[in-house]
Structure 1
Amino acid sequence: MVAETEPKSVCVYCGSSSGATPIYSKQANELGRLFHELGWRLVYGGGTTGLMGQVAIGTMGPDTDGAVLGIIPNALVAKEREDGKDVEIEIDVDVEHHKGSTPISDKFGRTIVVPDMHSRKRMMAEESDAFVAMPGGYGTFEEVMECITWSQLGIHNKPIVLFNIDGFYDHLLELINHSVKQGFISEKNREIVQVAETAQEVIEKIQNYVVPEGRFNLNWTDEGHKHGPHHHHKEHC
């Protein structure tokens, strides 16, 4: 059982492919199951494939009564759905056979289709109280590193957790620690990103997150901040 806590919206960055071993999909589904148990809302990149599909279907629960918000650019929506045809939902997708686009389905929660990647990233940040990065590829790396940078710059102070399934992020953590040793990241800012080895630990890291001291004290309230993650922006549905 998971301890009771107030409902949260958690943004999960992860691969739209399933990875080389079943442990990734299993842990993604388990994280979603814990979200469902807690009554937390998942915010993710939309679609039904790979780890994205697993965390979404886990959060929706066996009776599809969970809270899931998928945010996906129009270009990534499978063309079959755009043409109004039924599509076969595939959760497990091999990266070598992934076409880039993905079906969307009401069984995976509510989906908002936005015009572009910038709109997607901004809306995911605005809708979330915390951020989790599971295994993934270039997109996942880019999203979580930008999110960490936003915290360092003082744009947000929300929890950020690397879900280090089966040591997936060990090499990234080595790089971060090397950057600290070489004087490019401060010791205090190293604490911006927390690390969890299990789905249960992800929940605990979010619940117990302490905003590190030493982040940049910058003013993001000027006109340029309207493009940042806290500006309310009406998206196209």
Structure 2
Amino acid sequence: MTADSTIPSQAAVASRANTSNGQPRTKICVYCGSAPGSSHAHIEAARALGKAMAENNIDLVYGGGTVGLMGEVAKSLCAINGPESVHGIIPEALVKYERDGTYGTVNENNHIVPEESVYGRTTVVKDMHTRKKLMAEEVFAGGPGSGFIGLSGGFGTMEEIFETTTWNQLGIHNRGIVLLNIEGYWDGIVQWMDRAAEQGFVKPANKNILVNADTPEGAIQALRNYKVSDAIYQLQWGKLGIGDGLVFYGAKWMILQPAFLG
């Protein structure tokens, strides 16, 4: 997060959420690759996840790309539930790398964005930190079952998953995080979590902060059933004695509101 970034509490952002029958809509942030992967199973899983989210009336927030797994999740959901169900958030510098020929519309901010009827709404932001902040805000504002799902991806996907997991361990949020483990793609990470707990680097209860699922339906259900670990750090982020919620995290200063535990 940049020095002037504010990560609001879940309660603080809930009032801005879209509602369904007077309740905040469920929002899932999907982290995944801008590449399709060498096995077609990854593309099929991305499409199936979009379809499952549509069937469960769940909205998507994602990295805004139109290629690879990102594009498939967005297209699948948008085709069924319409553009209002999808919000892509992409840094301006990545637009030329994570787009296909559908990036041809110029929005009110003079940014080139993809066709809304195909990929939903797209917001172009200045940097990666803003992208992650806005995606997290939407999940925190969402209704029951909101959370984060990690499909297959590379370094960026892994970084997003682990940062979100770390925030949970530190008590910054209480939303679920699920690995959608296609063809054993995340098996190495699951084994590492077990090893880290066995060797005393992760509290045994905290290895379950990051949940493993092998189907889209299973991942969605895992978010609905998610229970916060009893072993997370019970930190008061706004009362650290170094200013009004100002903390040093991830090599950057960021401001946390006292109510963030939500």
Shorter-chain TM-score bucket reads 0.7 to 0.9
Q: Give the aligned partner of residue 17 of structure 2.
A: none
The answer for the alignment partner of 2:136 in structure 1 is 125
Partner of 2:127: 116
Question: Does the alignment pair 1:68 with 2:81?
Answer: no
Number of equivalenced pairs: 210
Q: Which residue of 2 is the match for residue 98 of structure 1? A: none
Aligned AA (1:8):
T
Structure 2 equivalent of residue 53 of structure 1: 71
- Distance (Å, rounded) in 2 between the aligned partners of 1:43 and 1:154: 22
What is the correspondence of 1:27-176 to structure 2 with a 5 Å cutoff? 27-62=45-80, 64-65=82-83, 67-78=85-96, 88-89=101-102, 104-106=114-116, 107-128=118-139, 129-176=146-193
CA distance in 2, matches of 1:39, 1:202: 15
The residue aligned with 2:4 is: none
- Taking a change above 3 Å as real, the CA distance of residues 229 and 89 of structure 1, as seen in their structure-2 partners, is farther
Shift of 1:34: 1.1
Unaligned runs of 5+ in 2: 1-22, 104-111, 140-145, 239-243, 248-252
Contiguous gaps of at least 5 residues in structure 1: 82-86, 91-101, 232-237
Q: Per-residue deviation at 1:228?
A: 6.0
Structure-1 separation of matches of 2:257 and 2:60: 18
Question: In structure 1, what is the equivalent of residue 222 of structure 2?
Answer: 205
* Residue-by-residue CA offset, 1:100-150 (whole Å, 9 max, x unaligned): xx9733120001111000100111111113001000000000000011000
Amino acid at match of 1:224: L
4+ runs deviating over 4 angstroms? 228-231
Distance in 1 separating the partners of 2:255 and 2:81: 36
C-alpha separation in 1, matches of 2:182 and 2:53: 17
Shift of 1:230: 7.2
Distance 1:229 1:144 in 2: 20
TM-score calculated relative to the size of structure 1: 0.82
Of 41, 65, 68, the match for 1:23? 41
Q: Which amino acid aligns with 1:41?
A: D
Partner SS, residue 112 of structure 1: strand
- In structure 2, what is the Cα distance between the partners aligned to 1:191 and 1:24? 24
Relative contact order, higher structure (CA 8 A, sep 6+): 2
Distance across 2 between alignment mates of 1:131 and 1:63: 20
The offset of 1:180, in angstroms, is 0.7
CA distance in 1, matches of 2:82, 2:257: 30
Q: Letter of the aligned partner of 1:201 in structure 2? A: G
Quote the offset at 1:58 in angstroms: 1.2
Q: Distance in 2 between matches of 1:199 and 1:229?
A: 33
Counterpart amino acid of residue 165 in structure 2: I
Q: Secondary structure at the match of 1:227?
A: strand
Q: Are 1:78 and 1:104, in contact at CA under 8 Å, matched by a contact in 2?
A: no
